[in-house]
Structure 1
Amino acid sequence: MDAQLFDKLVSIRRHLHQHPELSFTEFKTAALVEACLGELSIPTERVALTGVIGTITKGDGPAIVLRADMDALPVVEESGVDFPSLTEGIMHACGHDIHTTMLLGAAMLLNDATFEGTIKLVFQPAEEGPMRSPVKGKSGGQLIMESGKLDGAIAALGLHVHPLLPVGVLSYKNGESLANVGNFSIRITGKGGHPGWMKQVIDPITIAARLITAAHALVGPQPDPPSAVLAITYLSTESEPSFNVIPSHVLLQGSLRAVRIADYNDIISRLRTLLHQLEAEFRCTIDLGFSAYYPSLLNDAALHEQLSPIHNKIFGKTKVTEGLAYLVGEDFSFYSRAMPGQFYFLGARTEQNDSYFLHHPRVTFNEECIKYGSSFLAEAALHLLAGN
C-alpha cells in the first residue's frame, strides 16, 4: 500500500472515530461509505436499514463476500487519542471504524484489479446487537443474510482488530471459534405479603437466590479459558424498595455463552428442567425467554488452508498463529453458517496499551494494521476468485 492511499485511509478512519453511531443509526457512516464507493464508480444498495452493499463485477465467475461492521458502542471514551469521539457517550470501542476503513481500502485496491467474478463489499450495521432493530431480536448480520443479497456466494471473509496482538500478526481458530450467545430473561411470580405472615407468602426473592446458585452450577467446572458461562447480570423486584413488603415478582436477566452449540443447547435444556423443579417445589410460576441469539461462528479449515499463500505473502509464515476460542458473540456467524467463512483477528496493539481489550473506554488501536487488513482482504478475494 502506498503512502498516499494509507494517509487517505487514516483520514477516513479518524473521521469515523470522531463520529460514531449506534446500531441501526449508522446513517452518516453509510452515507460516507456510499460516497467513497461512488468515487470508484462501484454501485451500491441499502439493506437492513443502514447497511450498504457495494458490488464489483468483472466477467463471469463466482461471488466472494468481504464484510465489515460499522456500529459503535454506548461507551464514554477515555482513550486519550488526539481525535476522540465528538458524540457524547458513544465510542468506537470495538474497532468497527477500522473495519469499515479497511474494507474501503480493499475496495480501492480491487477496483483496478483484473479478475473474473463478483466481489460483494458488505458494510454491515448493528453487529453489537438488535437494539433498535427494524425486526425485533435480529442483528444487522442476520438481516443481511435473510435479505438474499448474498445468496450463491462461495465464501465470506471478515477481520476483527485485536488490541493486544502485535501489528502484523493474524490469528485464527478453525471450527467453532466464537460463542453461541443468548440473552435471557427469567420472571418469577410468587405471592407477596408481610414478612411477619410468611405462611401466606410465596417469596420470589428466596426462589431467585436458589435459582441463581443452581443455574451457575449447570455450567460446572470450566477449563482455562472457559468454554461456557451462564451469568446473571440483572435482578429487580419490579416494585418500590421496602423493608416490610415481600414482592410478588422478581425479574432476572443474563447471558448464556458456550463455544460448542451442543453444550449451549444442553445447558438450556437443563435450565428448563431446573425451573420446572422450582415451580413444583415453591408453587410459583417461572417464565423463561431468550432474545438476540447469535450462533457460534464456524471457521472453515479448508478455506483457511486455501488462503495460506496469501497469509504468507501478507504476514509471513511465523506471524499467522492459531488462537483460542473466545466467549464473545459475533454475528459474522450468520454468514459462516450459510457459506464457507473465515473470521480472523488482526493485530492492532499500540505502545500505550498492554491491557485494555475491546469495549473498554481506554482501548486504542494501531492504525498501521490498516495496511495489512486492506491488503489481505483484497488479495484473498482475488486468490479465491482465481480458484487457487
Structure 2
Amino acid sequence: MAATGWMDALPVQLEWQRELYRHFHRHPELGLQEHETAERIEQELTGLGLEVIRCGGTGLVTVLRNGDGPTVLARADIDALPVTEDTGLDYSSETEGVMHACGHDLHIAALMGAVRLMAEHRDAWSGTYVALFQPSEENAAGARAMIDDGLVARLPTPDVAFAQHVMPAEAGTIGTVAGPALSAGDSVRITVFGRGAHGSMPHQSVDPVVLAASIVLRLQTIVSRETEPGQFAVVTVGASNAGTTANIIPDRAELRLNLRTYDTQLRQHIIASIERIVRGECAAAGSPREPLFEYYDQFPLTSNDPVVTETVTRAFREHLGPAAVHQAAPATASEDFSHLPGAFGIPYTYWFVGSVPAETYRAAVRAGTVTTDIPANHSPFFAPAIDPTLEVATRAQVLAALAYLPVR
C-alpha cells in the first residue's frame, strides 16, 4: 500500500474518532486526575489488540513493533483546565468548573486514530510506532512524572518524536516552524518581608506593600532596558497580595510572576535580574529578612529540530497540498513535551493544527478582528471545529510517522 492508501482508510473510522472526541470533551479531568480518561484510552487501545503500559500515574503508552526500521514516538496530552465552559455545544462539559479548553481532547482522538490506522495496516509499513498519552501538561508535571516513573527504560529508544496542538487558526491547515516554536515558561512566587504596624503609626513599620509596589515598577525595566531590542521576553506580574484590612500594615507581601523566553541564556539573565532587583529593593527598604523565591510550573523551551521539521513539512505538503501547510510564527505559550525527547536525547518537531472554520477565520482576518472574535485556547468559548480539524490532525500524525518509517 502506498502512503496515500493510509489516508484512503481514514474516512471509515472518522465517526468512531468523532465520538471519542465528544466523549472526552464531555468528561474532562484536571492534570494527574485523568483517571476515567486513562481508563477509556486503555479500553480503546486494548480493543485494538494492543498492550498498554501505565506510566506516571495516568499516563499511557502503547508500542507497535512491526519489524525492522526506525522507532518514532508520537505524543498527545490528555488533561483539561479549571475553566467553566460557555460554548453551548450539545457535547459540553458535564463536569462543573472543568473544561477541555485547550484542545487536548482532540489531540487524544487524533492520536487514537493514527494508532488504529497503524495497527490495522501493519502490512504497509515497518519499524516501531510508539504512541504516548501524557497527563498534566497544563501544569508542567506530566512529562516529568512519566520520566520519573522509568519511561526511558520501559520503551525502545525512539529515533524521533512528534507532537501537535490545535490552535485558533484556519481549519484544514497546518503550521510548522524550525527552531523555537513555544517559549520557555517559568512562574515564581516571591515573598518579601516587612515589619507590621498599626496604620496610624507607619513610622514603626517597614511597609511591604510599598516595597512590593517598588519591585513591580522596577521589574518593568528588565524587558525595556536590559533585553536587546528584537529579542522576545515577557515578565508579567500576575498577582500582588498583602494585608487583610485598611488600618493594619502587614508584615509581608507576595508577588507572583510569569516569565516567557525563546533563549536559554536570556532566561537565565532575566531570572538573575529579578532576584537582583528584589534583593536590592528589599535592602533599600530595610527589610528585616531576605526575600523568598519559589519557582514552579516551569516549562522547557520547545525548539524544533530543523532537519526533522523540514522532513515532516515536506511530507505534509506532498500529501495535504502546499496551500494547506504554512510557516508558523513561534507561539508565546509553553509546553512540557520537550522533556520527553530530551530524556531520550532525540530530535523532535512540534506543529500547529488550525481549528476555526475557514470562512469564519477568513472573515475575521479581513475585518482585522481575529484576536477579538476568534476564541483562543483556554477561553471558555474555545470550541474546535471537529471537521476537518480531526481528520487533518490524524493525517498529520500518520504522515509524520511515515516520513521516517519504511513504507512497503
Tell me which of 78, 86, 109 is aligned to 1:101. 109
Q: 1:339 to 1:199 in 2, by over 3 A?
A: same
Letter in 2 for 1:21: E
| Counterpart residue number, 1:62 | 70
TM-score scaled by structure 2? 0.87
Query: 1:297 touches 1:334 (CA, 8 Å); kept in 2?
Result: no
Find out whether 1:313 has 2:315 as its counterpart: no
TM-score scaled by structure 1? 0.92
- Determine helix, strand or coil for the equivalent of 1:65: strand
For residues 103-118 of structure 1, what are the structure 2 equivalents within 5 Å?
103-111=111-119, 112-113=121-122, 114-118=124-128
Find out whether 1:346 has 2:381 as its counterpart: no
Query: 1:233 touches 1:255 (CA, 8 Å); kept in 2?
Result: yes
| Counterpart residue number, 2:263 | 260
Query: 1:109 touches 1:375 (CA, 8 Å); kept in 2?
Result: no
Query: 1:52 touches 1:123 (CA, 8 Å); kept in 2?
Result: yes
| Counterpart residue number, 2:339 | 334
Find out whether 1:246 has 2:249 as its counterpart: yes
More displaced 10-residue stretch of structure 1: 25-34 or 140-149? 140-149
| Counterpart residue number, 2:368 | none
Query: 2:192 touches 2:282 (CA, 8 Å); kept in 1?
Result: no
How many Å separate the matches in 2 of 1:170 and 1:88? 33
Letter in 2 for 1:157: F
Query: 1:45 touches 1:54 (CA, 8 Å); kept in 2?
Result: yes
Find out whether 1:129 has 2:139 as its counterpart: yes
How many Å separate the matches in 1 of 2:137 and 2:44? 22
For residues 30-179 of structure 1, what are the structure 2 equivalents within 5 Å?
30-111=38-119, 112-113=121-122, 114-129=124-139, 139-146=141-148, 147=150, 148=152, 149-150=154-155, 152-163=157-168, 165-179=169-183
Tell me which of 187, 194, 197 is aligned to 1:193. 197
1:17-53 superposed Cα distances (whole Å, 9 cap, x missing partner): 1111110111111111111111111111101100110
Find out whether 1:205 has 2:225 as its counterpart: no
Q: 1:332 to 1:387 in 2, by over 3 A?
A: farther
Letter in 2 for 1:244: N
Query: 1:299 touches 1:336 (CA, 8 Å); kept in 2?
Result: no
Letter in 1 for 2:219: A
Find out whether 1:183 has 2:187 as its counterpart: yes
Using the TM superposition, give the Cα deviation of residue 223 of structure 1 relative to its aligned residue in structure 2, in angstroms. Answer: 10
Q: 1:179 to 1:151 in 2, by over 3 A?
A: farther
Letter in 2 for 1:263: L
Using the TM superposition, give the Cα deviation of residue 346 of structure 1 relative to its aligned residue in structure 2, in angstroms. Answer: 0.5
Query: 1:261 touches 1:295 (CA, 8 Å); kept in 2?
Result: no
| Counterpart residue number, 1:136 | none
Tell me which of 293, 302, 307 is aligned to 1:288. 293
Larger fraction in helix: 2
1:291-347 superposed Cα distances (whole Å, 9 cap, x missing partner): 121111011110012224421233212321112112211111213533211111011
RMSD (Å) for aligned C-alpha atoms: 2.2
| Counterpart residue number, 2:369 | none
Letter in 1 for 2:269: D
How many Å separate the matches in 2 of 1:223 and 1:100? 40
Using the TM superposition, give the Cα deviation of residue 262 of structure 1 relative to its aligned residue in structure 2, in angstroms. Answer: 1.8
Using the TM superposition, give the Cα deviation of residue 166 of structure 1 relative to its aligned residue in structure 2, in angstroms. Answer: 1.5
Using the TM superposition, give the Cα deviation of residue 2 of structure 1 relative to its aligned residue in structure 2, in angstroms. Answer: 4.3
- Determine helix, strand or coil for the equivalent of 1:56: strand
Q: 1:227 to 1:100 in 2, by over 3 A?
A: same
Q: 1:178 to 1:37 in 2, by over 3 A?
A: same
Using the TM superposition, give the Cα deviation of residue 214 of structure 1 relative to its aligned residue in structure 2, in angstroms. Answer: 0.6
Q: 1:199 to 1:309 in 2, by over 3 A?
A: closer
How many Å separate the matches in 2 of 1:261 and 1:170? 27
Using the TM superposition, give the Cα deviation of residue 116 of structure 1 relative to its aligned residue in structure 2, in angstroms. Answer: 2.6
Query: 2:211 touches 2:282 (CA, 8 Å); kept in 1?
Result: no
Letter in 1 for 2:72: I
More displaced 10-residue stretch of structure 1: 53-62 or 184-193? 53-62
- Determine helix, strand or coil for the equivalent of 2:170: coil
Tell me which of 303, 308, 318 is aligned to 1:303. 308
- Determine helix, strand or coil for the equivalent of 2:138: coil
Query: 2:21 touches 2:105 (CA, 8 Å); kept in 1?
Result: yes
How many Å separate the matches in 1 of 2:270 and 2:64? 44
More displaced 10-residue stretch of structure 1: 84-93 or 272-281? 272-281
- Determine helix, strand or coil for the equivalent of 2:293: strand
- Determine helix, strand or coil for the equivalent of 1:332: coil
How many Å separate the matches in 1 of 2:155 and 2:284? 50
Using the TM superposition, give the Cα deviation of residue 352 of structure 1 relative to its aligned residue in structure 2, in angstroms. Answer: 6.1
How many Å separate the matches in 2 of 1:331 and 1:69? 10
**Unaligned residue ranges in structure 1 (runs of 5+):** 131-138
Find out whether 1:386 has 2:406 as its counterpart: yes
Using the TM superposition, give the Cα deviation of residue 124 of structure 1 relative to its aligned residue in structure 2, in angstroms. Answer: 0.6
1:160-209 superposed Cα distances (whole Å, 9 cap, x missing partner): 0112x222211122112211111101101111113343332111011101
Query: 2:139 touches 2:297 (CA, 8 Å); kept in 1?
Result: yes
Using the TM superposition, give the Cα deviation of residue 224 of structure 1 relative to its aligned residue in structure 2, in angstroms. Answer: 11
Query: 1:29 touches 1:70 (CA, 8 Å); kept in 2?
Result: yes
**Unaligned residue ranges in structure 2 (runs of 5+):** 1-8, 362-372
- Deviation above 4 Å: which 4+ runs of structure 1? 221-226, 351-354
- Determine helix, strand or coil for the equivalent of 1:256: strand
Query: 2:178 touches 2:303 (CA, 8 Å); kept in 1?
Result: yes
